[in-house]
A and B are shown apart, each in its own frame.
Chain A
Amino acid sequence: MENYDSADRLSVTFAALADPTRRAILARLADGEASVTELAKPFDLSLPGVSKHLKVLQRAGLITQSRNAQWRPCRLEGGRLKEASDWVGEYRRFWDESFQRLDDVLQTLIKEKRTDDTARRDNDG
C-alpha cells in the first residue's frame, strides 16, 4: 500500500498472474531461460497463442525477452513478482495480525468482566 501508482501497477501484475497458463509459464521460467517454442510445447498451444500470453507477462514486467540471441529466450524478472508476493503477504499479515491482537483484547475484556463479577459478588455478600 505505497501509493496509487504502485497499487495500479500491481493490478496489472495480478491480472497477468490470474491465468493458469501464464502461471505455468512463469514456473517454467523459474528453472531458467526458455525460447517461445520451448514454452509452447507443454501447453498444447500454438506459437501465436503462447506469444499472446508472453506479451501480457512482458507488459506486466514479469518477464523480459532477450533481443541479442537468435532464439530470443524469455527470462523471469523477479522484482515484480516479489512486489506482488509482498503485497499478498501484506494483506494476510494485516488480518492475521489483527486477529491475534483482537484475541488479546478479548482476553483482557473477559478478565475485566470476571473481576467486576467477583467485586459485585463480594459487595452483595
Chain B
Amino acid sequence: MAKAEYAIEPGKQELTISCVFDAPRELVFRAFTDPKLFAQWWGPRRYTNHIDKFDVRPGGLWRIVQRGEDGSEHGFHGVHHDVVAPERIVATFEYEGVPGHVVLQTATFETLGNKTRMVAQDVFQSVMDRDGMVASGMQEGSDESYERLAELLEKMKSGK
C-alpha cells in the first residue's frame, strides 16, 4: 500500500510529499489527469467529488467541489501551468474557504522499475500559510518538548 512521506522543514514556505505507487508511470499520470479517474481518489472518502472544470492544459482551469454526506461543500480551484505527459504537472491550488491563499503545486512522476515515485512540491505564499495548513511546527523537531506536545495532542485526539 502507498505510504506517503512528508518533508516539512521549519521556517520554509514549501513542503514535499512523496509516495511510491505500484503501477507504471503512464497509469499514474492518467489517474492525475483524467477527470473521471481523478474524482475517484482525490480527497477523503467521506466526500464526493464533483468536477466543475478540469482542463489539463497550460492555462486550463480546474475546479472541484467536495460534497459531504451532511451537505457540507468545499470548493477548490486553480490553473494548470505546465503539463508534460507523463512526467510533470504544475498547477495552482486555492481552497475557496480561505480565498487569496494560493499554493503552487508541482507533481513529478519518476519510473522505478514497474513502480512510480510521485513527488509533489507545494510552495505557499508565506511560512505562516504553510504552517497554517499543516502545523509543521508540531510535526518537525525531535526535541523533548515537541515529543511531549505531540503525545499531548494524541491524547486529546483520542478524547482522554
15 more contacts with CB within 8 A, not counting A82-B157, A84-B135, are A4-B97, A11-B129, A14-B135, A30-B149, A78-B156, A84-B153, A85-B138, A88-B139, A92-B6, A97-B43, A102-B21, A103-B21, A106-B22, A106-B31, A109-B30
CB distance from B140 to the nearest CB of A (A): 10
| Contacts between the two chains (Cβ within 8 Å), count | 144
Determine the distance from Cα of A27 to Cα of B21 in the docked complex, in whole angstroms.
38
B71 neighbours in A (Cβ, 8 Å): none
Query: Are A23 and B17 in contact, CB atoms less than 8 angstroms apart?
Result: no
| Cβ-defined contact, A93 with B97, below 8 A | no
Q: How does the 8 Å CB contact mask read for B121-160 relative to A, with 1 for contact and 0 for none?
A: 0000001110111111111010111101100111011000
Q: Say whether B40 contacts A101, CB under 8 Å.
A: yes
A44 to chain B, nearest CB (A): 14
CA distance A17 to B150 in the complex (A): 12
Evaluate contact between A24 and B40: CB separation under 8 angstroms: no
Residues of B within 8 A of A86 (CB): 157
The residues of A with any CB-CB pair to B shorter than 8 Å are: 1-4, 7-8, 10-11, 14-15, 17-20, 23-24, 26-28, 30, 78, 81-82, 84-89, 91-107, 109-110, 113
Some 14 contacts from A to B, beta carbons below 8 A apart, are A3-B97, A14-B131, A15-B128, A81-B156, A82-B157, A84-B153, A88-B134, A91-B133, A100-B1, A101-B42, A102-B28, A103-B2, A106-B23, A106-B31
Give B45's nearest chain A residue, CB to CB.
A97
CB <8 Å contact, A23 and B45: no
CA distance A93 to B47 in the complex (A): 13
**B interface, how many residues as a size bin?**
35 or more
CB distance from B28 to the nearest CB of A (A): 7
Nearest CB of chain B from residue A87's CB, rounded to whole Å: 7
- Which chain A positions have C-beta within 8 A of B4? 95-96, 99
Which chain B residues border A93 with CB–CB below 8 Å?
A: 44
CA–CA, A24 to B145, complex, Å?
Answer: 5
Contact A23-B146, Cβ < 8 Å, known A7-B132, A15-B131, A103-B1: yes
